[in-house]
Amino acid sequence: MKFISLRRRIVFPLFASILGLFIVFQLVSDYNYRKEAEHSLISHIEVLSKGVAINLSAAVLFEDQDAALEVMDTFSADPQVLYAVLSLNNQPHFSQYSASSNSVYEFPPLVEQNLARQRSFIYQRELFSQVPVMLGADKLGTLTVVVNAQSLFDWSNALRQAIFYLVLCALTGLFLYYRINSHVIAPVEKLNSAVRGLSGTKQQWQAVDTHANDELGNLVQGFNNMGEELTKQGIEIEQTLERLEQEKAYANEVIESAQYALIVADSFGTIKLSNIKALELFGQSRPQLEGNSISNYLQFEAEKLQDALKQSSFLIGARTQFERSSGEKRQLRVTSSELPHIGWSLFTIEDVTEQEKHLQRQQLMARVFENSQDGILVLNPKFQITMTNPAFVQLLGYSEIELVGKTLDDITPWHQLRNLLHTANDSLKTFNMWQGEVWEEHKSGRSIPLSVKANPLVSNNKELGNDIVLIVSDISNVKEVERLEYLAHHDSLTGLANRAQLYGSLESIIAKGQLGSFAIIYMDLDGFKAINDNHGHVAGDAVLKTIAVRMQQLVRNQDLVARLAGDEFVIVLRHTDNSGADHLAKRVLETVAQPIIFEGLELKVGVSIGVHMTQRNIPETSEQVLRSADKAMYSAKAKGKGTVVSFFQSVR
């Protein structure tokens, strides 16, 4: 027979009964509500129609349609009235009222038939009512009224009422269910569950809680007393079986479940048990290992090992090594402990060979860190300094205590490194490296040029982010060499190439076979001596600097502007021809002639220019091309200054 729970037997009929009562009540209520509303509407319209009919009697008697129409308009006070018509014996439409238009309302045949039998009725959601127009005992006509009965079919109020009662019924049902569940169903289910647990093979029984002082409470209490007695007996039997099983499997569980090599030996040192890790470590099978002496595998002093076996003392992290048959040596860390149940000793053996190698690598890295000639700075993801080496401390003069735990923002003098850090961090995310040069202040206040290389220290935890290691080198010597190299090839006043760089560039161009593709523009300032004599050498230096800047702005990156001496300048114009050289020379004339403002004074100079366009078929040295351009320049001077003369014009 199919099992049906007590909850289903009680709850389903309960809610079904409540729902049935609700439906019956709602149907009766809706029917009575509609009948009452229909009676109220008919009564209201009949009273209104009779009143209008009384007022129409005089208009009908005198056949005054205007008066009748005026009386009919009183229906407009009731928005439910759609249409009204006054019919006389000889005039079916003597007067009418329409809420929407003046057209004649056509009554359906069924309506006319019903009006002949009953005074008021509803058809197609409209109320039709007919009253006689009387004068005394004489019937003068008939007033027929059509009313909108849509309100009778508006279920919104009924729906709201139904929802209210439905919620009320639901709450009542829930309350009843709660009471029945808490006092009957739940205690019976608990009792049933407890009976099933008690009747099971493992007797998984729990006492049933009850606070009822009735017949059901007495039944539960009696069951609890019986269950307690049976449970005590079952627990005693189960504990006895568990102890026997534990003692049987104890050694195997201990040895095989460990992650280290485990060996159990008796007081004589004979190996009794071992796990897989021990077999792998010593490279032997279980029959080879078990039954052998532990002293063959653990190379300790005999007295020390005997004390551990007799358990007068124990090994705690003792170090030894074992050499495999292949000759490979493994570093071991051994700890011994007592197995009190059987009087044997358990040896826990950890292979620390890789840990030792890792520790040695860490120590080596620490020595490299401490003894590196380059400064090393380690930043965490928040850009806080976490480590620094002695070389960095010596390089910038700050002690480790002054640096560790601080950010670069906290160290005020380090402007460039702080500003470049975010750029370096972006580069690290994209390219895994960054390199640059900065000038930072030593603690003493002097500036030091530094080469900085940044690399990420990749972390396994991506949420924390990566640390950053900065390798910092002092490049003061490199910068000094660069400075001397610059001074050796540049004019100290204007920053232009000097004579040495000019000759070096010309020799390189000629050696590459580029004669015929470059021109020399040789310039000598006109009127410069007068500025020196009248305004001093400071003004003369300012004029030379300004002319140098203007010439640099006229040429391309591939061209070279040089100052030979005094007020003589040379432009090496590459990859050009006669037209290009002449064009640049004229621009130089115009540019140099522009006034120069110095300390409120307007200074002017001119320039005489000699141009020499090299020829592919005429071999020349650097001295010769400069001499040719110089000769052309002196020809320009001879012509009256402020002019341009090419070398071939000067020859002619």
SS3 track for 449-462: EEEEEEEEECCCCC
Which one-letter amino acid corresponds to residue 70? E
The helix (H) or strand (E) run that includes residue 476 is helix 476-489
CB 471 within 8 A of CB 375: yes
561-592 tens-digit pLDDT: 999 888 999 999 999 999 999 999 999 999 99
What rounded mean pLDDT belongs to the chain?
81
14-37 tens-digit pLDDT: 778 888 887 888 788 777 877 887
**How many of the other CB atoms lie within 10 Å of CB of 243?**
10
d(CA 438, CA 102): 99
d(CA 507, CA 7): 111
d(CA 511, CA 336): 84
Question: What top-level class would CATH report for the domain 374-480?
Answer: alpha beta
| CA nearest to 646, candidates 615, 619, 609 | 609
Can you tell me which residue has the tokens 């115009």? 590
Say if strands 644-646 and 606-613 run parallel, antiparallel, or are unpaired. Answer: parallel
Give the residue-averaged pLDDT of 423-445: 80
Gyration radius of the chain over CA positions: 59
Helices (H) and strands (E) in the chain, counts: 20, 22
State what percent of residues in the chain have pLDDT above 90: 16
pTM here is 0.39
CB 450 within 8 A of CB 439: yes
How much is the pLDDT for 652? 41
d(CA 170, CA 11): 13
Q: How confident is the model at residue 522 (pLDDT cuts 50, 70, 90)?
A: very high
d(CA 598, CA 230): 117
Q: For the domain 258-356, what is the CATH superfamily, name and number? A: PAS domain (3.30.450.20)
395-415 tens-digit pLDDT: 888 888 888 888 877 776 777
Which long-range contacts (C-beta less than 8 Å, at least 24 apart) are formed by 532-540? 535/598, 535/601, 535/603, 539/598, 539/599, 539/601, 539/603
Separation of first and last alpha carbons in the chain: 136
pLDDT of 605 above 90: yes
CB 415 within 8 A of CB 421: no
Backbone angles phi, psi at 574, to 5 degrees: -95, 155
d(CA 607, CA 592): 7
Dihedral, 403, 409, 415, 419 alpha carbons, nearest 10: 120
**Angle (deg, nearest 10), helices 186-199 and 6-61:** 160
**How many of the other CB atoms lie within 10 Å of CB of 125?**
11
Question: What top-level class would CATH report for the domain 490-651?
Answer: alpha beta
228-283 tens-digit pLDDT: 776 777 677 777 777 767 766 675 665 667 678 888 888 888 888 888 888 888 88
Which one-letter amino acid corresponds to residue 394? Q
Q: How confident is the model at residue 627 (pLDDT cuts 50, 70, 90)?
A: very high
37-78 tens-digit pLDDT: 778 888 888 888 888 888 888 788 788 888 888 888 888 888
**How many of the other CB atoms lie within 10 Å of CB of 547?**
25
Q: How confident is the model at residue 104 (pLDDT cuts 50, 70, 90)?
A: low
- The number of CA neighbours under 13 Å toward the Cβ of 398 is 24
Give the DSSP per-residue string, 327-367.
S-EEEEEEEEEEETTTTEEEEEEEE-HHHHHHHHHHHHHHH
d(CA 552, CA 256): 85
Which CATH number fits the domain 6-154, given the four candidates 2.30.31.20, 3.40.50.2000, 3.20.20.70, 3.30.450.20? Answer: 3.30.450.20
d(CA 267, CA 594): 110
DSSP state at residue 80? T
Give every CB contact of residue 617 below 8 A, 6+ residues apart in sequence.
Answer: 516
**How many of the other CB atoms lie within 10 Å of CB of 151?**
13
How much is the pLDDT for 651? 47
Distance set, CA 440 to CA 287, 401, 415, 418, 642 (Å) = 71, 19, 7, 10, 50
Query: What's the sign of the alpha-carbon dihedral 302, 304, 309, 315?
Result: negative
Query: What's the sign of the alpha-carbon dihedral 310, 312, 316, 322?
Result: negative
DSSP state at residue 442? -
* Domain residue ranges in the chain: 6-154, 258-356, 374-480, 490-651
d(CA 499, CA 545): 17
- Burial of residue 373 (CB within 10 Å: 0-12, 13-18, 19+) is exposed
Give the residue-averaged pLDDT of 213-230: 69
Kindly state the tokens that stand for 259. 């992650």
State what percent of residues in the chain have pLDDT above 70: 88
CB 632 within 8 A of CB 649: yes
Give bridge partners of residue 357 from the DSSP assignment.
Answer: none
Distance set, CA 126 to CA 52, 143, 145 (Å) = 20, 16, 10
Q: Tell me if 6-154 shares its fold with 258-356.
A: yes
d(CA 492, CA 479): 17
d(CA 564, CA 499): 5
- The number of CA neighbours under 13 Å toward the Cβ of 329 is 6
SS3 content of the chain, % helix, strand, coil (to 5): 50, 25, 25
118-143 tens-digit pLDDT: 778 787 778 888 888 887 787 888 88
Distance set, CA 276 to CA 259, 279, 288, 323, 351 (Å) = 9, 5, 13, 19, 14
Instruction: Count how many residues are written for the chain.
Output: 652
